[in-house]
Amino acid sequence: MGEPDLHLAVALDGAGWHPSSWREPDARPRDLLTAGYWADLVEEAERGLLDLVTIDDDLGAAPPGVAGRLDAVLIAARVAPLTRHVGIVPTQVVTHTEPFHASKAIATLDYVSTGRAGVRVRIAARPSDAALFGRRTIPADRETALPDLFDEAADYVEVLRRLWDSWEDDAEIRDAATGRFVDRKKLHYIDFEGAQFSVRGPSITPRPPQGQPVVAALAHRDVAFRLVGRSADLGFVTPRDAADATALVGTIRAEQDAAGRGAETVHVFGDVVVFLDGSAAAAAERKERLDAQLGREYVSDAHVFVGTPAELADVVLEWRAAGLSGLRLRPGTLPVDLTQITRGLVPELQRRGAFRTGYEADTLRDLLGLPRPANRYATA
């Protein structure tokens, strides 16, 4: 058994993170809007013993290089019953959606996945996104808008967690003889009042199997680091190198302390875009070909790694030693870079005694070493 505290995730979006990925010979652009495509990817991630997959979503932009996308939460609900162990974490854009609806959808995902659900919360700061809904306006000056949007996201997560807790674990009686299905004394109003919304509750969905599904967020700047420290179980950051990883973990820990959460486990994963092959030259040739189709060099908000699975294993272990809980890998092209992760990187880490050789947990929280939260409304 390898190191139990090294975690690996993969970020799925379209045909891969390079905008030209859909033009690769083994890409499946005709299948992007089918359930089978996503099922194949998530099942491959599970074969590689990965902790979780994230499924990207956005209001205003299609996956890199293609037009049109499916709803991430609905993809997750479709593929979850086809797997048994891997965590499934869709993206929910929180700026223009209702937390009551999202809480119900993610709770449902936790049920259909038997306790393997999470949600990555994401803000939408573009005025064009707001125009899709017509309910509010977003200032054209993005920097002006961001603090309020991230504060709203923190309120959103608080509502999610309260709604998940609004049913006590034993609220369902299901007593056919008396006709009592629910003990109403064990359903609770949450009475949340915030700047953008007020939610009375309770939820209409019983408390999820995990108590609260895992909440994740991607963080690039101070307001996002604060959101992770205040509200998340899992933060994704984008280090340039190991030293930067150490600094970013320190920033998240400081935000945890400021929020009074210093004693809680908050995992921090480093994001890396990967182009992998049997030789570094072959990986570089593929990226160069993709860049030529794009007409420019592909760059990302995250570090871009080009090389072999063994060379990536060196980076994974170096960044883990720098303080990260693990990495979230963004495949440059699908399915090639995903299979290089599952069939190349994972065996290499196993050979080094650094990664699990089998799943030993049934829920995503257990897989990540996160405790099942106590219900805030339950009385002793």
Helical spans, DSSP H, in 48-141: 72-79, 99-112, 127-133
Q: Are 375 and 168 in contact (CB under 8 A)?
A: yes
Whether residue 141 is predicted with pLDDT greater than 70 in this model: the reply is yes
User: Omega of the bond prior to 335 within 30 degrees of 0, cis?
Assistant: yes
CA distance 191 to 199: 6
Whether residue 13 is predicted with pLDDT greater than 70 in this model: the reply is yes
**pLDDT class of 380 with cuts at 50, 70, 90:** low
pLDDT, tens digit, for every residue of 312-370?
999 999 999 999 999 999 999 999 999 999 999 999 999 999 999 999 999 999 999 99
Whether residue 4 is predicted with pLDDT greater than 80 in this model: the reply is no
Q: Are 252 and 239 in contact (CB under 8 A)?
A: no
Q: Are 65 and 29 in contact (CB under 8 A)?
A: no
Partners of 117 in beta bridges: 88
Task: Tell how far CA 194 is from the center of its chain.
Answer: 25
Q: What pLDDT is attached to residue 3?
A: 44
Q: Could you tell me the domains of the chain? A: 7-163+213-368 (3.20.20.30)
Of 59-73, 87-101, 110-124, 233-247, give the lowest mean pLDDT range. 59-73
Structure tokens at 192: 């949340």
Q: Left (φ > 0), alpha (ψ -120 to 50) or beta: where does 221 sit?
A: beta
